[in-house]
Homo-oligomer: A and B are copies of this chain.
Amino acid sequence: MKVLIYGSGQLAQMMYLAAVPLGIQVSAVDVGNHTVVDPISKRSLELSIEDAIEQADVLSVEFEHVPEDLLEQAQSSGKLLPNSEAILAGADRVREKAVLSKLAIANSEHRIITQVEQLDEAVETLGDKLIIKASRDGYDGYGQWRLAHIEQLDSLKNTLSQLDLQNVPLIAEKMVPFERELSLVGVRGLQGDIQFYPLAENLHHQGQLHVSVAPAPDITENLNQQAQLAFKKLVEEYDYVGVLAVEFFQVGDSLLVNEIAPRVHNSGHWTQQGTDTSQFENHIRAITGLPLGNTKAKGKSAMINIIGCDDYSTDLLSIKNCHLHLYGKTVRPKRKMGHINLTGKTYSELAEVMTTLAKFLPIQAFPKLLDEADKLAAID
């Protein structure tokens, strides 16, 4: 069986690695230069996208920002899973907000901004603490602005007036004083069967995910049910097949959807060591019609992103139950270079491993690691 993935980065790489043992060949479309490549070596397979689509049994994506023409071509083949409607809901915050409203899934209060003047009305209704996001092509903190108090409004309007808001509207969201960010990664099979990984707690820094801990501590049945209900509504709306990630803000006992990602997700990387069947294998299983695998957490896991640095010591592999996942990239500021998965029987065992890990790392590049270890050490 053959799978063609749009996007040839680390997510395609990890899907490839999970697919080989299942006898499934994964190729990737480099959407930058429209070539079909081996997802590991990035060598061209000397194959047109048309031929690759023809040969593939299933098409899928590693990211939602697939250029429109490619996405349309993929959808029209009849082989794209999840389908383009679902992918676009992840790619376009206007569509995302529309579907959340339609399905009555709680999310932050917001206004859609197609002219900077509409910001005045947004401030009147939502207050002067706003986070403003480009509706498309923003990721990892890019394409985001903050209004912290009313004095900044004129300057912000000035900045934003230089954008083409008719073409790419903004979403102005009320800044929510949330306790933490959680994400639910789940998978829906071809027959509509659903498996959930446990909720992960995600720690961001400057707009990028740095650490995920799973299962997230202090999850009530109530929180779980809110998350799973939102997930179920979304996958049923789109007749979704594959892995879907839903990011939430926890505000008291409530979850507000922050965003949805129609694909395997950075906050699910812990599943490689932390569960029997990783999100990558389960995505491949789902889209190829294989039975879904066990998503239960084996113990407590942490995933530590390696961002913008390569001056760690590989002696970190001497730590028991510590695994390195590198993406084969040259270093650049803010670039995700790889991640480290850690597991422990308890949160305090996990905290110990995290503290040991810190000794092998340039700690300024891992600003969330030790604080989180301290927090986890206090749990059990």
A residues lining the B interface (CB < 8 Å): 13, 17, 20-23, 25, 38, 40-41, 273, 276, 285, 290-291, 293-294, 314-315, 317-318, 320-321, 323-326, 328, 338, 343
Q: Which residues of the partner chain B approach A273 to less than 8 Å between Cβ atoms?
A: 276
Cα distance, A323 to B18, chains bound together (Å) = 11
DSSP class of A's interface residues: helix, strand, loop or mixed? mixed
Q: Which residues of the partner chain B approach A25 to less than 8 Å between Cβ atoms?
A: 41
Q: Which residues of the partner chain B approach A276 to less than 8 Å between Cβ atoms?
A: 273, 320-321, 323, 343
Q: How far is the CB of A146 from chain B (nearest CB, A)?
A: 36
The residue in chain B whose Cβ has the minimal distance to the Cβ of A322 is: B293
Q: How far is the CB of A325 from chain B (nearest CB, A)?
A: 4
Is the CB–CB distance between A291 and B317 below 8 Å?
yes
Q: How far is the CB of A332 from chain B (nearest CB, A)?
A: 16
Which residue of B22, B315, B321 contacts A294 across the interface (Cβ within 8 Å)? B321
Q: List 7 A-B contacts (CB under 8 A).
A: A17-B17, A21-B338, A22-B324, A23-B328, A276-B320, A276-B321, A291-B315
The residue in chain B whose Cβ has the minimal distance to the Cβ of A326 is: B23
Q: How far is the CB of A46 from chain B (nearest CB, A)?
A: 10
Q: How far is the CB of A271 from chain B (nearest CB, A)?
A: 14
Q: Which residues of the partner chain B approach A325 to less than 8 Å between Cβ atoms?
A: 21
The residue in chain B whose Cβ has the minimal distance to the Cβ of A46 is: B43
Cα distance, A38 to B20, chains bound together (Å) = 13
Is the CB–CB distance between A338 and B290 below 8 Å?
no
Q: How far is the CB of A335 from chain B (nearest CB, A)?
A: 14
Is the CB–CB distance between A317 and B294 below 8 Å?
no
Is the CB–CB distance between A323 and B21 below 8 Å?
yes
Cα distance, A61 to B20, chains bound together (Å) = 21
Is the CB–CB distance between A338 and B38 below 8 Å?
no
Which residue of B23, B40, B321 contacts A20 across the interface (Cβ within 8 Å)? B40
Cα distance, A276 to B322, chains bound together (Å) = 9
Q: How far is the CB of A10 from chain B (nearest CB, A)?
A: 10
Is the CB–CB distance between B320 and A291 below 8 Å?
no
Is the CB–CB distance between B290 and A317 below 8 Å?
yes
Cα distance, A328 to B24, chains bound together (Å) = 9
Q: How far is the CB of A243 from chain B (nearest CB, A)?
A: 16
Cα distance, A326 to B24, chains bound together (Å) = 9
> A276-B320, A318-B291 known; A338 and B23 CB under 8 Å?
yes
Cα distance, A343 to B277, chains bound together (Å) = 13
> A17-B17, A38-B38, A328-B23 known; A294 and B320 CB under 8 Å?
yes
Q: Which 7 residue pairs across A and B have the least CB separation, nearest first? A: A291-B318, A23-B326, A21-B325, A291-B317, A294-B320, A290-B317, A276-B321
Q: How far is the CB of A278 from chain B (nearest CB, A)?
A: 11
Q: Which residues of the partner chain B approach A22 to less than 8 Å between Cβ atoms?
A: 324, 326
Q: How far is the CB of A32 from chain B (nearest CB, A)?
A: 22
Q: Which residues of the partner chain B approach A321 to less than 8 Å between Cβ atoms?
A: 276, 294
Cα distance, A315 to B292, chains bound together (Å) = 10
Cα distance, A285 to B318, chains bound together (Å) = 11
Q: How far is the CB of A52 from chain B (nearest CB, A)?
A: 14
Q: Which residues of the partner chain B approach A17 to less than 8 Å between Cβ atoms?
A: 17, 20-21
Q: Which residues of the partner chain B approach A315 to less than 8 Å between Cβ atoms?
A: 291
Cα distance, A41 to B13, chains bound together (Å) = 15
The residue in chain B whose Cβ has the minimal distance to the Cβ of A13 is: B20
The residue in chain B whose Cβ has the minimal distance to the Cβ of A25 is: B41
Cα distance, A324 to B284, chains bound together (Å) = 13
The residue in chain B whose Cβ has the minimal distance to the Cβ of A296 is: B320
Cα distance, A38 to B44, chains bound together (Å) = 13
Q: How far is the CB of A318 from chain B (nearest CB, A)?
A: 4
